[in-house]
Structure 1
Amino acid sequence: MDLQGNDSLNGTLDFTAYGGLSQVGKFFMVCAISIAMVCLGCAMEVAKIKAHIKNPKGVGIALVALYGVMPLTAFSLAKAFQLSEMAAVVVLICSCCPGGLLSNILSLAFSGDMNLSIVMTTCSTLLALGMMPLLLLVYCQSFEGLQEAVPYRDIVLSLLTILTPCGIGILLNHYRPQYSRNIRKAGLILSNTCFLVVVVLSVLENGEQTLSVLAPPMLAIALLMPMIGYTFGYLLSFHYRLTESQCRTVAMEAGCRNGQLCMVLVKNAFPREAVGPLFLFPVVYMLSQLSEALVLVLLFRTHRCWQQRNNKKGTYQVADPEIRQVGDQERAVK
C-alpha cells in the first residue's frame, strides 16, 4: 500500500490538496516538545524510580493499562468506525504514546500519589522506545497493506531524538535540583505557548480542511478513548487492591497521552501528503482528555467536600451531649 494521500477518514476525503506546516510552525513544534520533555525530566528522581522498581505493583498495573488496554481500545474503535489506514495508524500511535506532564498535574488535582505518578510517567516514556514500534507492528497486521507502510525506523529515530531532552532534564534534576522547580514553571509556560502557536499556524494554513479532524468517527474516538482509559485504569488498580490515591493516579496515567509527542511523531514519520491535517488529531484528544478529567476532578472534590461536611456534622452531634453534660456538672459544682 502506498500512503500518498488518497485515503481518508472513511474513504471520502482527499489529502493531496493539504500542505504541511510552515518552517516557522516546525520550529515551534520542535521547541514545544523539547521544552516539555526537559520539564518532564526535571520532575523525575532516580531515588524514587529505584524505590518503585523494588515495589513495582502500581507501575506494573499502569503499564498494563497503557500498553495493553489502550492500544487494544484504539484498534477496536478504528475497526468499529471503519477508519482508513492513515487515520487508523494515527489513532494507534496516539494510543501507544506514554503519559505526559498532564497526567502528573491531574494526579495532583486528584490528590493522588505523586511519586507513583512521576515514576509511571518515567517508565512509560522510556518503554515507549520499544513498545510503540512493537504494538504498531502487531496491530497494523489487521489493516491491509499498512504494516509495510508504517515507517518504524523513522518512529524509533524520532523517539530517540525526543527522549534526549528528557534525559537532560533528569541530569539537571539530579545534579542541580535547586533549579528544577523554576525550570519546570518557566518551561511549561514556554512549551504551551509554542504548542498554541503550532495549532494556530496549522489552522491558518489548512483552513477549513482542518475541520476534517473533527469528522464524527475521529471525534467519537477522541471522546471515548480517554474515558475508557480512566475507567479501566481505576478498575484494574481497585481490583489489585491499591490505595484510593494510587487508584486515582493510575487512572490518570492510563487515560492521558502525551499529545505533543504524538504530533511530532506523526508529522515527522509520514509524508505530509499522506497525513494531511490528521496530525492535529492529538490536539482534539488532548482537549477531550483534559475536559473529561476536569469533570472527574470536579466530581471528586465535590464529593470530598460533602463527605467532610457530613463528618464534621457527625462529630458535632456526638460531641454535643458531652458538652452539655460537662456544662451541667460545672453548674452543679457552683
Structure 2
Amino acid sequence: MSAVMNVTEIYNGIVTVYNEGNVSGNESVAVSEQFPMLNKTINFFVIIVLIITMISVGSTMEITKIKTHIRKPKGVIIALLAQFGIMPLTAFSLAKILQLNSIKAIAVLTCGCCPGGHLSNVLSLAAMGDMNLSILMTTCSSIVALGMMPLLLFIYCQGFKNLENAVPYVGIITALTLILVPCGIGIAINHYKPKYSAVIRKTGLSILVICSIIGCALSGIAYRHTLWLLLTADVLAVATLLPLTGYTLGYVMAITCKLSPQSCRTISMETGCQNVQLCVAILKVAFDQQDIGPMFLFPLIYIVFQSTEAIILALGFRCYRALKPPAEDTTYHVVDGKQEEVKQP
C-alpha cells in the first residue's frame, strides 16, 4: 500500500536502534510474518475493544442535551480548538525536543492527533465537570477527527525526515469511520430503546475488560523481546508530559475564554485525555507492522500517565473543595423601608 510507511527508508534508518539492544531487528519487526495468526488475533481484539468502547459512548448520549449545547456551542468550539490545537502541537514539540526517531515520533504524533476518549467522561465526573459537555465533546471530536486527524498528521509529519509520506491516510480514515458507526448505533439505542442503554454499558464494560486483557497478553507474547523500547527515558518523558500539558493548557484556555469553572475542568480533562483505543487500532491495523513494531503499544503507556495525572488533579480539586470554607450566603431584610444586608455564616 503506497500510503503505508516507506519501509526501505525508515526501516533501514532505525533497525540499528533495535540491534543496539542485542535484539534482532527482524525478530522485533516481523511478528506479522512469523506469527500471522497471532497478529490477526491481536488485530481482532483491538478492533472489538474500539467498537465496544464507541457503542458505550454513544449509549450515554441524549439527543435533547446535544441540542442544548448546539444552541450554545461556545464550550464545544473552545474544547475542539483545545483538542486539535494544543495536543498535536505539544506532541510535535516533545518529539522535536527529545529528538525521537521516526518510529517513536509517528507513534507520538498519532496519539497527539487523536480525538478525546471515553475515559475523559469518567475523569470529568471525578473532577465534578459538566458531564453533558464532556460526552458531547467526545462525540464531536470523533466526528471532527475524520478530517482533522489526517490533516494534522500530514502537516506535522513534514517536520520529520522520512515521514513526509509515511501516514496511511486511508487506513486512518477507515478507523475513524469505524468509531462513528458504533457511536451512532449507541446514540440510536439510547434514543429509541433507552431501557437497554444501561444493560449495554454494563455488558460492554465486561467484554471490554476481557478483550483488553487478552489483547495485552497476546501483544506481550508477540513483542516480549522488544517491549523494552517502550520503557526508554524519552518515551516515558513524552507519556508523562503530553497529558499533563494538555490538562494544564486546556484549563488555561477555557479560563481565558471566561467559561464556567465546571466547563473549565471538563475541557481540561477532554484536552489531555486521548482516545487510546483508537490510537492503538490505527497504529496496529493501519500501519505496516514491519515499520511500527512494538511502538503500537505506546498508547498503553500513555493511558497509565494520563489516568494517574487526571486522578491526582481531580483528588486535589476535591480536597480543595472540602477544605475551602463555605461561602457566606447573603440575604436581605427590609427595615423601615430600607434594604439591609445580612450575612449568614
Q: Do both proteins adopt the same fold according to a TM-score greater than 0.5, normalized to the shorter chain? A: yes
* In 2, Cα distance between equivalents of 1:264 and 1:3: 20
* In 1, Cα distance between equivalents of 2:132 and 2:196: 19
* In 1, Cα distance between equivalents of 2:284 and 2:41: 14
Other structure's SS at 1:230 match: helix
* In 1, Cα distance between equivalents of 2:206 and 2:243: 24
Amino acid at match of 1:3: V
Task: Answer with 290-299 or 183-192: which moved more.
Answer: 183-192
* In 2, Cα distance between equivalents of 1:248 and 1:100: 16
Q: Deviations over 1:82-105 (max 9, x none)?
A: 112221111111011111110000
- For 1:16, the equivalent position in structure 2 comes to 26
The counterpart of 1:49, out of the listed 25, 50, 66, is: 66
* In 2, Cα distance between equivalents of 1:91 and 1:3: 19
Q: Deviations over 1:180-208 (max 9, x none)?
A: 12211221222122112211211122113
- For 1:132, the equivalent position in structure 2 comes to 149
1:87 correspondence with 2:104: yes
Higher helix proportion (structure 1 or 2) = 1
- For 2:131, the equivalent position in structure 1 comes to 114
The counterpart of 2:249, out of the listed 197, 220, 232, is: 232
Is the Cα–Cα contact under 8 Å of residues 3 and 149 in structure 1 kept in the other structure? Answer: no
- For 1:2, the equivalent position in structure 2 comes to 6
C-alpha change, 1:201 and 1:7, in structure 2 (3 Å) is: farther
C-alpha change, 1:151 and 1:24, in structure 2 (3 Å) is: closer
* In 1, Cα distance between equivalents of 2:202 and 2:262: 25
- For 2:239, the equivalent position in structure 1 comes to 222
Task: Answer with 281-290 or 136-145: which moved more.
Answer: 136-145
Task: Answer with 265-274 or 162-171: which moved more.
Answer: 162-171
Q: Deviations over 1:41-82 (max 9, x none)?
A: 111222222221221111111111110111000001111111
* In 1, Cα distance between equivalents of 2:62 and 2:110: 28
* In 1, Cα distance between equivalents of 2:41 and 2:166: 28
CA displacement at 1:7 relative to structure 2: 4.3
* In 2, Cα distance between equivalents of 1:48 and 1:3: 47
CA displacement at 1:167 relative to structure 2: 1.5
Is the Cα–Cα contact under 8 Å of residues 62 and 191 in structure 2 kept in the other structure? Answer: yes
- For 2:196, the equivalent position in structure 1 comes to 179
C-alpha change, 1:196 and 1:6, in structure 2 (3 Å) is: farther
User: Normalising by the residue count of structure 1, what TM-score does the alignment of the two structures yield?
Assistant: 0.88
Is the Cα–Cα contact under 8 Å of residues 175 and 278 in structure 2 kept in the other structure? Answer: no
* In 2, Cα distance between equivalents of 1:267 and 1:246: 34
* In 2, Cα distance between equivalents of 1:72 and 1:221: 13
1:54-203 paired onto structure 2 within 5 Å: 54-203=71-220
- For 1:294, the equivalent position in structure 2 comes to 311
Amino acid at match of 2:27: A
Runs of 4+ aligned structure 1 residues displaced above 6 Å come to: none
C-alpha change, 1:196 and 1:7, in structure 2 (3 Å) is: farther
Q: Superposition RMSD on alpha carbons, in Å?
A: 1.9
Higher Cα radius of gyration: 1
Is the Cα–Cα contact under 8 Å of residues 99 and 257 in structure 1 kept in the other structure? Answer: yes
Higher strand proportion (structure 1 or 2) = 2
- For 1:252, the equivalent position in structure 2 comes to 269
Other structure's SS at 1:44 match: coil
* In 1, Cα distance between equivalents of 2:125 and 2:306: 16
- For 2:336, the equivalent position in structure 1 comes to none
Is the Cα–Cα contact under 8 Å of residues 6 and 274 in structure 1 kept in the other structure? Answer: no
* In 2, Cα distance between equivalents of 1:259 and 1:238: 27
Other structure's SS at 1:238 match: helix
Report the number of matched residues: 311
* In 1, Cα distance between equivalents of 2:143 and 2:63: 13
Is the Cα–Cα contact under 8 Å of residues 43 and 170 in structure 1 kept in the other structure? Answer: yes
Is the Cα–Cα contact under 8 Å of residues 45 and 212 in structure 2 kept in the other structure? Answer: yes
Is the Cα–Cα contact under 8 Å of residues 7 and 13 in structure 1 kept in the other structure? Answer: no
Unaligned runs of 5+ in 1: 316-334
Other structure's SS at 1:221 match: helix
* In 2, Cα distance between equivalents of 1:3 and 1:74: 23
Other structure's SS at 1:150 match: coil
Other structure's SS at 2:274 match: coil
C-alpha change, 1:16 and 1:45, in structure 2 (3 Å) is: farther
Amino acid at match of 1:16: N
CA displacement at 1:303 relative to structure 2: 1.2
1:298-317 paired onto structure 2 within 5 Å: 298-307=315-324, 310-311=325-326
* In 1, Cα distance between equivalents of 2:164 and 2:95: 15
Is the Cα–Cα contact under 8 Å of residues 3 and 86 in structure 1 kept in the other structure? Answer: no
